[in-house]
Amino acid sequence: MLEQNNLQTFVTPPEDLEKLLLAHLPDSLTLLRKVQYLRRRASLSKAKFPQILLASSPSPSPSDGVPVANGGQVPPRQPPRSFTMAYISTTVAQSTSMYLYSTLQDDPEPPGATAVAETEGQLETILHALIRLRRVVQDGVRPNLQATVVLGSLHSRIRGLWEKTGRVVPRPGGHYDKWLFDLGQVPRLDESLPEDMVWGSGSLQDCEVVASRTDIPRPVEYLVQMPSLFIKLLDGTPVSWAFLDSVGSLISVHCEVCVLFSFD
């Protein structure tokens, strides 16, 4: 019989949470960047609601956690056997409302029945916490909160567990791949461009083009605030672009399809 999952919530994540994710790189990278960002901006944050949810197995004993002022608990001194962590955005500024990482995605081999059952319990714990959080946010500051959230960077194993319960519905555009780049292995290339092209950044008009090229719902107002790099024709027409999100992760790379005609 599996022990009951332990749920911990954090407005500002403690250092131990960052260390926990560091031990599970590279799979935990997306959540790690979110936690590091929240910690860096802790002194400036006006967040009123939990932004990090952690469900772990087995549940630690009461002596393993110490209550803190932000309404959460310091993670247990001994790392949990398995856990699932979610980052939640309760602001309208983010195009993706939720990111999730689970230790189930670490092993390259198919997981055993016990690991799957533990993760299913953790996902259910996270889900019920989300439902409670949504009610609080809706009653407090956002009465018109949508009934669904955009869940990004979801591992196929976790997606499979939630899809069979009807919790996750794929977008019409299908699934997107997530790529992890080792910057030390990325070759340095010649940055010179053809004579009819220039480097630039994204204007509001450029971001309208970007938003029209993707099925991922990213508001133009969100994109124009993100760091970007464009290749444009001399008349300003965007040809290719890349965007970073608020935590420094590469979130979009695109190249327009060019068709060349020859009349020779």
Same domain, 141 and 38: yes
220 lies in some domain = yes
Same domain, 159 and 236: no
135 lies in some domain = yes
User: Do residues 202 and 215 lie in contact, with contact meaning Cβ atoms separated by under 8 Å?
Assistant: no
SS3 of 58, please? coil
Question: Scanning the structure block, which residue is given the tokens 């001399």?
Answer: 234
Same domain, 218 and 137: no
Can you give the pLDDT at residue 67?
42
Same domain, 153 and 33: yes
Report the distance separating Cα 245 and Cα 223, nearest Å. 9
117 lies in some domain = yes
Of 164, 185, 209, which one is at a domain's C-terminal end? 164
CATH of the domain at 197: 3.40.630.30
166: left (phi over 0), alpha (psi -120 to 50) or beta: left
Report the distance separating Cα 174 and Cα 216, nearest Å. 10
One-character DSSP codes across 123-190: HHHHHHHHHHHHHHHHHHT-TT--S---EES--HHHHHHHHTTT-----TT---------GGGSPP--
- Side-chain half-sphere of 20: how many Cα atoms within 13 Å? 25
CATH of the domain at 10: 3.40.630
Question: Scanning the structure block, which residue is given the tokens 């309760």?
Answer: 90
Same domain, 86 and 141: yes
Same domain, 250 and 152: no
Same domain, 30 and 124: yes
Which residue in 67, 64, 58 sits closest to 14, CA to CA?
A: 67
Same domain, 36 and 88: yes
Can you give the pLDDT at residue 264?
47
Same domain, 156 and 100: yes
244 lies in some domain = yes
175 lies in some domain = no
Same domain, 19 and 83: yes
Report the distance separating Cα 148 and Cα 125, nearest Å. 17
Can you give the pLDDT at residue 66?
41
**Domain residue limits at 96:** 6-59+79-164
List, in order, residues 6 or more apart from 180 with CB less than 8 Å away.
26, 29
Report the distance separating Cα 220 and Cα 117, nearest Å. 41
Same domain, 119 and 231: no
Of 164, 182, 210, which one is at a domain's C-terminal end? 164
177 lies in some domain = no
User: Do residues 9 and 71 lie in contact, with contact meaning Cβ atoms separated by under 8 Å?
Assistant: yes
User: Do residues 87 and 151 lie in contact, with contact meaning Cβ atoms separated by under 8 Å?
Assistant: no
Tell me the one-letter amino acid at 40: R
Report the distance separating Cα 83 and Cα 8, nearest Å. 11
pLDDT tens, N- to C-terminus, the chain (264 residues): 234 568 999 988 999 999 999 999 999 999 999 999 899 887 777 777 788 999 998 644 544 444 444 455 555 467 888 999 999 886 655 556 889 999 999 988 999 999 999 999 999 999 999 888 888 777 766 556 667 778 888 899 999 998 888 888 877 766 777 788 888 888 888 889 999 999 999 999 999 999 998 877 788 998 999 999 999 999 999 999 999 988 888 888 999 976 444 444
Look at the chain and report how many structural domains it folds into.
2
Same domain, 145 and 25: yes
180 lies in some domain = no
- Side-chain half-sphere of 221: how many Cα atoms within 13 Å? 3
26 lies in some domain = yes
Of 126, 143, 164, which one is at a domain's C-terminal end? 164
